[in-house]
Amino acid sequence: MNKPRPSAAFGGADPAVDAIKRTNGRLDDKALVEIFEVAMRSRIFEARLVRWAKEGGIPPLLHPGAGQEIAQLAALHVLRNSDPMLYAHRGLAYIIGRGVPLTAILADASGREGGTNNGKGGLMHTVDIARGVYGESGTLGGGFVIATGMGMAIKKQRRDDVIVHFFGDGTSNRGTFHESLNWAAVQKLPVIFICENNGWAVSVPTSVSTAVEDIASRAAGYGIPGVVVDGGDADEVAEAVAVAAERARAGEGPTLIEIKAVRLLGHFATDMQEYRADRDECQARDPMLALRRRLVEAGLLTEEQMAEMERRITTEVEDALDEVKAAPLVSGELAFTDLYS
């Protein structure tokens, strides 16, 4: 495991970066197994959703997170469930990791009763305050400003929660990134900005749209730590987030963490990816494979146990799907509710 390396822009001079170096937050065995299992649930569930979309059961507006689950879950693992999260569109591990029931997600996706957003937001806007799931902005970059304001509230309320906001590399080119990081930094707000850099924004490679290789180097413009971590390494991610959370809870302000990630599938469910040449190479970098190997080598799970886990989760997913398919569609009358309070 590599230590999370501070972004080049910071050199070794910034004390905040030293703080990151000082911590040592390896995930314990139990955590690794847990992350693996939730990642598997997310992967299987998502694949089933993609299939459902291709069958026409739900709209294809699903953005598979395959390849990015391990890092997402490692990040969440070192936070509290009470730490409010604004997630990105990339996959469902964020919300599955927080414990939102699969049936609720399926109900949101298919406009059936039992969902979390009364048919308003569909799959993209699952919400579950008790689990710290605060939703998603449909316009990319809309989350930065809201996360900043949530951090402002936490600080005024003298709570020790931290806000975690996930977003993509492409999204970091919205102006709201700049305004928010500056203000969060100047006010020392408890926000962790986590950029998942998977090298793509739909069909546009990051190198075409973005002037720097490391999004984390942008932290220099706000005087905050900018940390690059390997999305294939759960420990590295966890450690960086743990340090950022400690810093945030101590009133020292936000951190920008960049996860070098891999997008295994298309931008959305039915994307054929004609524009993409790196697909095979990417499959080999699937963090699930690495973690799988590691768990086996460490004797934490046998191949047998994993196969059993897969069967169990598949059944769980199919059961959830059956349950939701049997639920009634939400009423069109809901078009008129939830706007004003």
Partner 1 sequence: MRQLSYAQAINEALVEEMDRDENVILYGQDVAAWGGIFRVTTGLLDRFGHERVFDSPISENVIVGAGVGAAIMGMRPVAELQYADFLLTAGDEIFLKAGMWRFMHGGAFKVPLVVRLPSGSTSAGPEHSTCPEAYIMHSPGLLCAVPSTPSDAKGLLKEAIRNDNPVMYFEHRLLYQKKGPVPDGDVTIPFGKAAIRKEGKMLTVIAWQLMLQRALKAAEELEKEGISVEVIDPRTLTPFDWDTVLESVKKTGACLVIEEGYRSLGVGAEIGATLFEKALPWLDRPFRRMATPDVPLAATRQLVDRILPSSDGIAAEIRDMLK
Q: Which residues bind Mg ion (CB under 5 A)?
A: 168-170, 198, 200-201
Q: Which of 36, 2, 40, 18 is nearest to 247 (CA)?
A: 18
- Is residue 180 at the binding interface for partner 1, with CB under 8 A as the rule? yes
Which residue in the set 28, 157, 211, 326 belongs to the binding site for its own copies (CB under 8 A)? 211
Q: From its own copies, partner 1, ligand TPP, none, which one binds at residue 152 (CB under 5 to 8 Å depending on kind)?
A: partner 1
Task: Tell me: does residue 123 bind ligand TPP (CB under 6 A).
Answer: no
The stretch among 125-133, 203-211, 237-245, 263-271 that binds its own copies (CB under 8 A) is 203-211
Give 164's strand partners. Answer: 85, 192
Closest CA to 21 of 32, 31, 10, 30: 10
Among the listed residues 64, 90, 40, 50, the one whose alpha carbon sits nearest the alpha carbon of residue 313: 40
Nearest to 259 by CA among 233, 221, 230: 230
Site for partner 1 in 6-45 (CB under 8 A): none
Residues 132-151 that bind partner 1 (CB under 8 A): 134-135, 137-142, 144-151
Q: Is 268 exposed, middle or buried (0-12, 13-18, 19+ CB in 10 A)?
A: middle
Residue 175 near ligand TPP by CB under 6 A: no
Tokens matching residue 165: 């906001």
Which partner, its own copies, ligand TPP, Mg ion, none, binds residue 139 by CB below 5 to 8 Å per kind? ligand TPP
Element (H, E) at 300: none
89 binds, among its own copies, partner 1, ligand TPP, none (CB under 5 to 8 A by kind): ligand TPP
Cβ(102)–Cβ(119) below 8 Å: no
| Selected range binding partner 1 among 11-19, 198-206, 219-227, 317-325, rule: CB under 8 A | 198-206
Amino acid (one-letter) located at 30: K
Q: Does 226 bind partner 1 (CB under 8 A)?
A: no
Binding site partner of 222, from ligand TPP, Mg ion, its own copies, none, Cβ cut-off 5-8 A by kind: its own copies
Q: Locate all alpha helices (DSSP H) within 121-173, ordered by sequence.
A: 142-156
**Which residues, other chains included, contact 249 with Cβ-Cβ below 8 Å and sequence gap of 6+?**
160, 162, 190
- Please identify which residue in 25, 59, 149, 223 interacts with its own copies, judged by CB under 8 A: 223
Characterize the bridge pairing of strands 204-205 and 85-86: unpaired
109 three-class SS: helix
Residue 337's binding partner out of ligand TPP, its own copies, partner 1, none, with CB under 5 to 8 Å set by partner kind: partner 1
170: contact with partner 1 by CB under 8 A: yes
Nearer to partner 1, 204 or 307 (CB): 204
Asked if 90 is part of the footprint of ligand TPP (rule: CB under 6 A), the reply reads yes
Secondary structure (H, E, C), 171-197: HHHCHHHHHHHHHHHHCCCCEEEEEEE
Out of 108, 136, 169, 236, point to the residue binding ligand TPP (CB under 6 A): 169
Question: For residues 124 and 309, which CB has a smaller minimum distance to partner 1 in the complex?
Answer: 124
**H or E element that contains 60:** none
Stretch that binds ligand TPP, among 24-32, 183-191, 195-203, 221-229 (CB under 6 A): 195-203
**Cα dihedral across residues 104, 325, 93, 141: positive or negative:** negative
Residue window 9-38: x/- pattern of binding to its own copies, with contact defined by CB under 8 A: x-x---------------------------
What's the min distance (Å) between Cβ of 227 and its own copies?
A: 15
Interaction of residue 139 with ligand TPP, rule CB under 6 A: yes
What is the distance between the alpha carbons of residues 148 and 293, in angstroms, rounded to a whole number?
Answer: 39
Q: Does 141 bind ligand TPP (CB under 6 A)?
A: yes
**Sites of contact with its own copies (CB under 8 A):** 9, 11, 173-179, 181-183, 185-186, 208-212, 217-218, 220-224
